[in-house]
Chain A
Amino acid sequence: MKVVVDEEKCVAAGQCVAAAMDVFDQREEDGIVVLLDENPPAALAEDVRNAAAVCPALAIRIEE
């Protein structure tokens, strides 16, 4: 699984961090998404898919 984030689209709602905190973080100065792990392990796949599904700005894409 490969994760791609779009910082331009991100609105810093924090939903990705709530869903998968080992994969996503938020930038200190303005809360914009920080991708911690581009290729998360299979064990986190479900959480990461959920993170993408609840991103209100559609800023997370998953390439299987």
Chain B
Amino acid sequence: MAESDTRQATEERLYFYQDDRDTTCPFAPPPGLRALNDHAPVTRARIWDGSTPWLVTGHAAQRAILSDPRVSSNDKLAGFPYPNKAMAETAHHHPLTIFNADGADHTRIRRMMTRPFTRPRMEALRPQIQQFTDELIDTMLAGPKPVDLMHALSLPLPSLMICALLGVPYEDHDFFQEHASFATRSDKTTEEQQAANQALGGYLAGLLQKKMGEPTEDVLSDFATRIKDGDLTLPEATLLSMILLIAGHETSANMITLGTALLLDNPGQLARLREIDDTRDVANAVDEILRYLTVATFGQRRIAAEDFTFEGADIKAGDGIIVPLPAGNWDPEAFPEPEKLDLTRKANHHHAFGWGIHQCLGQQLARIELQVVFGTLYRRVPTLRLAVERDALAFRPADALAFGIGELPVTW
């Protein structure tokens, strides 16, 4: 057989990659992906546009590829494995951001954003996060039931926190929350999302200008100082603010909602969680829930900047690379019996926040929000339960920003 025929024959059997979860088992990664991890942790797969990027599923292989300087996040390079058509069509005019920058550019941008999100700063916010959580639960318990947990707690908490960190005045919260959730909601049309983005951008730019005159202790004032110092332009600072706002919203909200659905499905583990007092043990439990659900399901997208051999694969410059984080987090080599939710297992080496230089900037904020919520909600509301059949839950379509459930009706 000619070489091209062999290649074609092999390609016909390629795994078709998309995040197609089995609806009877929505908390688990797609079964096909798990099977691949067992026998081919680095392999070619086909994606929506017919191209055949590399798919890296093993935990160790994911670590190696995501920290390899020969691998780029530059989404303007030919061969980049876009998640969908809309992204492919708009990539050439994507500005340089923290997400698609490499090397020195990435370091420069990232270091302008890290200050407010350090672990010590986030620890210091714990009492405030606890207070917001308690107040939201008070309001929920005082109101009618059943209630949608997404709107009662999961969305408002990250929203209140990011507003407080950015320095958005309290009276503007309603505007802010509505437009922020709009911009990331997959049930809105592209036009509606663009309009919401524009409204938010305009609002943030106005606020940045105000903070240039009257700085306060917050992220927008930090950025305003950098504008005055000539390190950033107003549009750049507006974009950074938008990124923080959007990246910090839906992901955390989905973890609260989906995590609650998962725990209600695992009453033994839920009972155990209620008994945990030590903050480190709560932290560990949260890492296990992060691992198990890995809500950033869409697969990190990269492209090879040079030729190299990786785990026996001949990777060429310009080859697309996709790293589906849920597969690494369910790799039995790294997490024995991965399908078992075990809140006492050591789990902080998971990839729920990615790995390498792009690992989540807001992870310590997200972790502490989740530690507070998961350490409080089920104790204060011990009889919390679904108000609908589990089968009636509407899991979000695969192409959404983060995997999750649109709403979670609960009662107690």
Contact = CB atoms under 8 A, between A and B. Distances in A.
B115 A29 contact: yes
A12, A53, A54 — most chain B CB neighbours (10 Å): A12
A19 B348 CA distance: 9
B357 A56 contact: yes
A12 B348 contact: no
A18 B107 CA distance: 22
Interface residues of A, number: 22
Closest 9 pairs between A and B when the two form their complex, measured CB to CB: A14-B119, A56-B359, A31-B114, A12-B114, A17-B119, A26-B118, A31-B118, A14-B364, A30-B111
A14 B122 contact: yes
Contact of B357 (A11, A15, A29, A50): A11
11 contacts: A12-B110, A13-B353, A14-B119, A14-B122, A26-B119, A29-B115, A31-B115, A32-B114, A56-B67, A56-B355, A57-B357
B117 interface: yes
Among B110, B114, B361, max chain A CB count under 10 A is at B114
B61 interface: no
A18 B349 contact: no
Q: Which of A15, A19, A29, A50 has the most CB of B within 10 A?
A: A15
B283 interface: yes
Interface in A9-63: 11-15, 17-19, 21, 25-26, 28-32, 50, 53-54, 56-58
A27 to B, nearest CB: 8
Nearest to A53: B349
A18 B119 contact: yes
Contacts of A54: 348-349
B354 interface: yes
B351 to A, nearest CB: 9
B359 A11 contact: yes
B282 to A, nearest CB: 13
